[in-house]
Amino acid sequence: MSESLPTNLQGRRILLGISGGIAAYKAAELVRGLRKGGAEVRVVMTEAAIEFVTPMTLQALSGNPVRVGLFDPAHEAVMGHIELARWAELVVVAPASADFLARLHAGMANDLLTTLCLATTAPIVVAPAMNRQMWQAAVTQQNVVGLRGRGVIVWGPAEGEQACGEVGPGRMVEPAELLAQCDSHFADGPLKGVRVTITAGPTREAVDPVRFISNHSSGKMGFAIAEAAAQMGAEVRLVAGPVALPTPAGVERIDVESAEQMLEAVLADPGEIFIACAAVADYRPAEVADKKVKKSAEEISLQLVRNPDILATVAALEGAPFTVGFAAETENLIENGRGKLQNKRLDMVAANWVGARAAGGGFNSDENALQLIWHDGEEALPRCHKHELARRLLEVVVRRFQQR
């Protein structure tokens, strides 16, 4: 774990829940980091969790007794589970197994940890950890969507090698990242407690098993906005197309490939502010070949159909979020940007040059410039590094959002 300590955890009361799974051993490192950051930590384990890590270890690291059973005479004589539920400022379940997610979604209270989650008014965070097939199972995804809809915060999972030897999504987010996310949760800032959903990167629209239609977007601008929003205290969901960028600290990342997948992920929780920075493919092949298309004729034709318009769909929702669209233009920057603002009924457009007019900015560059446009005004943000540009953009978004 990094030696740089978080700055917002001092005196915070965090209840760490540990469910059964091999990733339970990582909870010890998380407890240690939270304590070093100044937080007070109490640990609740499921019966399955103690098969992977001992309560004694976590008691030594947390400095508090570890609770396991719901029917503990020493604690329940004074309704200890209610006291714990009221004590917590934040409940973090890491790892959260598929079984725990299912029971939490069903509203069950058949052990101490699920009972606490029902009884608390504190924000609840789950950090899923399971085999990739279990994570990708339809019922698990339905449970996660349902939990998000009830306000449960989902951090992860990450992708990589798993204990079973398989590779894919399902690894618990590493303790250092969880620590940073806890720190960001308590950060004071103009977006404190505001749910922000951001799209970033390109989409890929499959032609056959080896080819696809895409574009040059690197995702750098969207990732910079996500990082800046988290630093301003927002609860950030980053829906990312296929890019090779690290997840910013304190950000929940959902990886997708196609425009249809991106739309589904966005609609699961479009947030209170939605910033559509992704370069979504406007069209996709009408049919996807199930086998590689072999080179044969001198010419071939590819029939394309329109993809769903993610930005317009979100803007048209009942009770739509404050919606910001990006417009990458090769000509008529302000005119085209304002047209997009009006046609899609957006709150703001961030327009930028691409191609020959970009002068070193735009796609794949570390720098860019933006022309912000809203219904009764506009503001130019001069060229600078995308991290600084993201901060300046969000300062304007915050002002407009608060005036909405």
Catalytic residue IDs: 164
CA–CA dist 129, 271 (Å, integer): 24
Task: Give dist(CA 2, CA 335) in Å, integer.
Answer: 47
**Cβ contact 200:219 at 8 Å:** yes
Q: Whole-angstrom Cα distance, residue 227 to residue 5?
A: 18
Residue 195: Cβ within 10 Å count: 18
In 19-58, DSSP assigns E strands to 40-45
Cβ(34)–Cβ(64) under 8 Å? no
Report the distance separating Cα 248 and Cα 222, nearest Å.
11
- CA–CA dist 307, 381 (Å, integer): 31
Of the candidates 394, 400, 393, the residue with the CA atom closest to the CA atom of residue 347: 400
Coil, helix or strand at residue 55: helix
d(CA 363, CA 218): 6
CA distances from 109 to 15, 105, 145, 153, 172 (A): 17, 11, 20, 19, 24
